[in-house]
Chains A and B, each alone.
Chain A
Amino acid sequence: MSLKKLSAAAMLVGATLAAQPSSAQDITLEFVVWNYALDTIQDNVRRFEEANPGIKVNVTDYTWPDYQDSLVLRFRGGTQTDLLYGGQDWLPAWASAGWIAPLDKIAPEGMIDTLSGEMAGFALSDVTYEDQVYGLPYYADTISFLYNSEILEEHGIEVPETWEDATAAAEKLKAAGMNRPIVYEYNQELPNFFDAFVAQVYGRGGDLFDEDLNAVFNQPDNAAYQHLEWLRDAFEKELVQPENHESNIITTMNTGQHAFTIVYNYVLAAMNNKAEQPLAGQFSLAPMPGEAHSTLGFAKFYAVTATTADDPERAEAAWKFIEFMAGQPYDVAKRWAVEHGLGFGQLPLLEDQEVREAWGEWVDMDVLSNQIENARAGTWTEWTAVWSAFFRPLLASAMVGEISVEQAMNDGAERWNTLREQFANR
């Protein structure tokens, strides 16, 4: 081949390539998650990529206990992150630091209002910071009081209405030979250790803070103070079987040696999973004991980083992803609900026949609906996550009698006030 012909051929190939429309996988989004059901996450991502040629999504996962630290270090270190799982307790800190962006910045006009209108109240509250919506629910759930209905029936015990009833029931079971009837997730390193405590305080109708965000939990007549005394009493009477993780609670409750526990609803789904658990079907949800029967509702959500929201191309792709995962017709949220028993913030799914059938296998839907209606969002501030890390060991110490309830509550309140001042002056 002559040099002229070779040059002409090269030019032709070059021109052809240049004339091609931009090829697939123009954008690769970095999506950071904690590693619950990673297979399902990957499969959802695969479906998204199939439906959206030109957008590729890399998934990076961390364990739940390490997630928050890892994300903060990613933000501070400038590691490329486009999309992430967010949590209600971290939102104020992350949003105020400018690390994540309100969804209005990337969603078509009016879309967030439409989707917000279909969200459970506590879920909407948990994805909102300073009147702006920062996420759409990946899942939303309540922390619930669960019991073994067969054990209660066998011993002629009514489902506890108050915490005093719960003590009486546990003491009756202990007298009948059951060692430690209440299984409790006791792990001061997990944020849910604090969340579960708040849920129980809400059951009593109390709160840890007043409307001006002053700490009031150190007042002896406060419900939180009284509840910590209740927990300490229950530990002292050896009514409580501590477990360090919810996965252990599933196994422990399925030994038939315990009657009560306080955990997320999806743990009830796992406890009642007939394919895996020997006592599946024996466990039921009851309204949280206490005068109010309220509980803590919370939402984990898909969020977008501020740097991605500022880049029009990436922002457009990121919105497509969030809408696919958590927007109408809520197929992915429904999948999590049906396959894993994860709660949802999208209220239309409560009426979905497929969801009701799947959930009817492990929970009384009417009791659950009441629970969701009664649930309250937590008090989440810019310093809550930091304070919670300080307060959880105090709670744990007081429960096992290492320090007094008064000391735990006073130290916790003092730290709350210090952090509040620090964050106000930062």
Chain B
Amino acid sequence: MWAIKRYPLLWLLPALLPVAAFIVYPVAYAFWTSLHQVMLLFPGEPFVGFDNYARVLTSSYFRTAFLNSVVFMLLAAPLVVILGVSAALFLQRRFAGSMLVRSVVLLPWVLPGAISAVLWIWVFHPSFGIINGVLLGVGAVDTPIQWLNTPRLAFACVLVAHVWTQIPFAVVLTMAALSAINSETLEAATIDCRNGWKRFWYVVFPEVKAMIVVLLIYNALIAFTTYDLVYAMTGGGPGTATTLLAFQIWRESFAMYDFGAGSALAFVMVAVAALLIVLITRALPSDLFGERP
């Protein structure tokens, strides 16, 4: 008989096969590639051991891209969470046009990254952009600011665009957590405490802190691995000012045709991301996701 107990692996095959085909095989192949010289313009793919890893780790581009990625993550993740939670608290209230405002806030979520990038390129355009238009209009500056062509400003511009695209997801999750709070508790808190900040800190925050931590971890990883906005907005420039690790993987693989180096860099990035997850998870209070007393 084809009993489940007798052939457990066989019954798991329908689930295991897609996992093997779409996750295990690509990852294994990428690891194989990282250990070989896979230059698209070269014939053959000789084994080179960990040479690709050594090369990317000692390159000046890696240092820059790694530092940029870390700074980007440290700034982007808290910003997304703070702005997302603030927006969610605001949108939870009922007011005229609240449904319309909720829809507008969610708009960046439905836009593909490339479209968002084009939009922000025009917002920051020195001659035709709305920001320079306003600044010049009110006399705050005499000459247009070169937002995307000045290294530090370009980094800030990409950061702004990235945060803008990620806020809706934070809003949705926070609103879901807020809706789970007992309405009687909130009403009691409103009567007992007129200070909104204290009300948030002592009543609302404990109820949504688990969600906020999840959002922080998620956004840290998204920021650390972001690629599309950088590619479309600045191409990693000016120079290396906005070159993040994920973009450097693309550059190694598709601009320099060195898939070996690109794959090695991808594994380095995965290792760093995994380390970050472990560190963040260990830093959390042990009772964070536990049952409330």
Taking beta carbons and an 8 Å cutoff, which residues of A are in contact with B? 69, 72-73, 76, 93, 97, 179-180, 186-189, 238, 241-242, 244, 251-252, 255, 257, 382-383, 386, 389-390, 393-394, 396-400, 402-403, 411, 422-423, 426
Find the residue from A73, A383, A389 having the highest chain B CB count within 10 A. A389
Query: Which of chain B's residues has its CB closest to A97's CB?
Result: B41
In the bound complex, CA of A112 to CA of B166 (Å): 57
Q: Smallest CB–CB gap between A192 and chain B, Å?
A: 13
Contact across chains for A244 and B148 when beta carbons are under 8 A apart: yes
In the bound complex, CA of A242 to CA of B243 (Å): 19
Contact across chains for B41 and A397 when beta carbons are under 8 A apart: no
Query: Which of chain B's residues has its CB closest to A70's CB?
Result: B254
Q: Which of A73, A179, A397 contacts B144 (CB 8 A)?
A: A179
Q: Smallest CB–CB gap between A215 and chain B, Å?
A: 17
In the bound complex, CA of A389 to CA of B256 (Å): 6
Contact across chains for A186 and B256 when beta carbons are under 8 A apart: no
Q: Smallest CB–CB gap between A244 and chain B, Å?
A: 7
Segment touching A, from B16-24, B104-112, B195-203, B231-239: B231-239
State whether A403 and B127 are in contact (beta carbons under 8 Å apart), knowing that A179-B143, A186-B149, A389-B251 are contacts in the complex: no
Contact across chains for B256 and A242 when beta carbons are under 8 A apart: no
Contact across chains for A188 and B239 when beta carbons are under 8 A apart: yes
The interface residues of chain A lying within 8 Å CB-to-CB of B240 are: 393, 397, 402
In the bound complex, CA of A255 to CA of B125 (Å): 14
Contact across chains for A189 and B235 when beta carbons are under 8 A apart: yes
Q: Which of A69, A242, A255, A426 contacts B43 (CB 8 A)?
A: A426
- Assess whether B126 is interfacial by the CB under 8 Å rule: yes
Query: Which of chain B's residues has its CB closest to A186's CB?
Result: B149
Contact across chains for A186 and B238 when beta carbons are under 8 A apart: yes
Q: Find residues 1-58 in chain B having any chain A CB closer than 8 Å to their own CB.
A: 39-44
- Contact flags B136-157 to A (C-beta < 8 A → 1, else 0): 0000000110101111000000
Contact across chains for B257 and A188 when beta carbons are under 8 A apart: no
Contact across chains for A93 and B41 when beta carbons are under 8 A apart: yes
Q: Smallest CB–CB gap between A240 and chain B, Å?
A: 9
Contact across chains for A242 and B149 when beta carbons are under 8 A apart: yes
Contact across chains for B121 and A69 when beta carbons are under 8 A apart: no
Q: Which of A383, A393, A400, A403 contacts B150 (CB 8 A)?
A: A400
Contact across chains for A386 and B256 when beta carbons are under 8 A apart: yes
State whether A242 and B146 are in contact (beta carbons under 8 Å apart), knowing that A97-B41, A188-B235 are contacts in the complex: yes
Q: Smallest CB–CB gap between A234 and chain B, Å?
A: 13
Contact across chains for A396 and B251 when beta carbons are under 8 A apart: no
The interface residues of chain A lying within 8 Å CB-to-CB of B43 are: 97, 426
The interface residues of chain A lying within 8 Å CB-to-CB of B212 are: none
Query: Which of chain B's residues has its CB closest to A65's CB?
Result: B235
In the bound complex, CA of A73 to CA of B259 (Å): 12
Query: Which of chain B's residues has its CB closest to A252's CB?
Result: B127
Query: Which of chain B's residues has its CB closest to A248's CB?
Result: B125
The interface residues of chain A lying within 8 Å CB-to-CB of B42 are: 426
Please tell me the size bucket of the interface on B: 20 to 34
Q: Smallest CB–CB gap between A393 and chain B, Å?
A: 6
Query: Which of chain B's residues has its CB closest to A93's CB?
Result: B41
The interface residues of chain A lying within 8 Å CB-to-CB of B144 are: 179
Name 29 interchain pairs, CB-CB below 8 A, sorted by A.
Answer: A72-B41, A73-B40, A179-B143, A179-B144, A180-B143, A186-B149, A186-B238, A187-B235, A188-B235, A189-B235, A189-B255, A238-B143, A241-B127, A242-B149, A244-B148, A257-B127, A382-B41, A386-B256, A386-B257, A386-B258, A393-B236, A393-B237, A393-B239, A396-B239, A397-B237, A397-B239, A400-B239, A402-B241, A422-B39
Q: Smallest CB–CB gap between B44 and chain A, Å?
A: 8
Q: Smallest CB–CB gap between B52 and chain A, Å?
A: 13
In the bound complex, CA of A238 to CA of B143 (Å): 10
In the bound complex, CA of A241 to CA of B143 (Å): 11
In the bound complex, CA of A300 to CA of B162 (Å): 37
Find the residue from B40, B44, B148, B238 having the highest chain A CB count within 10 A. B238
Contact across chains for A402 and B236 when beta carbons are under 8 A apart: no
Q: Which of B39, B121, B151 contacts A402 (CB 8 A)?
A: B151
Q: Smallest CB–CB gap between A80 and chain B, Å?
A: 18
Query: Which of chain B's residues has its CB closest to A188's CB?
Result: B237
In the bound complex, CA of A426 to CA of B38 (Å): 11
Contact across chains for B251 and A397 when beta carbons are under 8 A apart: no
Contact across chains for B256 and A400 when beta carbons are under 8 A apart: no
Q: Smallest CB–CB gap between A420 and chain B, Å?
A: 13
Contact across chains for A400 and B238 when beta carbons are under 8 A apart: yes
Q: Which of B121, B150, B237, B257 contacts A72 (CB 8 A)?
A: B257
In the bound complex, CA of A422 to CA of B39 (Å): 10
Q: Smallest CB–CB gap between A10 and chain B, Å?
A: 46
The interface residues of chain B lying within 8 Å CB-to-CB of A422 are: 39
Query: Which of chain A's residues has its CB closest to B236's CB?
Result: A393
In the bound complex, CA of A238 to CA of B126 (Å): 13
Contact across chains for A403 and B239 when beta carbons are under 8 A apart: yes
In the bound complex, CA of A408 to CA of B148 (Å): 21
Query: Which of chain B's residues has its CB closest to A96's CB?
Result: B41
Q: Smallest CB–CB gap between A62 and chain B, Å?
A: 13
The interface residues of chain B lying within 8 Å CB-to-CB of A241 are: 126-127
The interface residues of chain B lying within 8 Å CB-to-CB of A93 are: 41
The interface residues of chain B lying within 8 Å CB-to-CB of A423 are: 41
Query: Which of chain B's residues has its CB closest to A390's CB?
Result: B256
Contact across chains for B151 and A188 when beta carbons are under 8 A apart: no
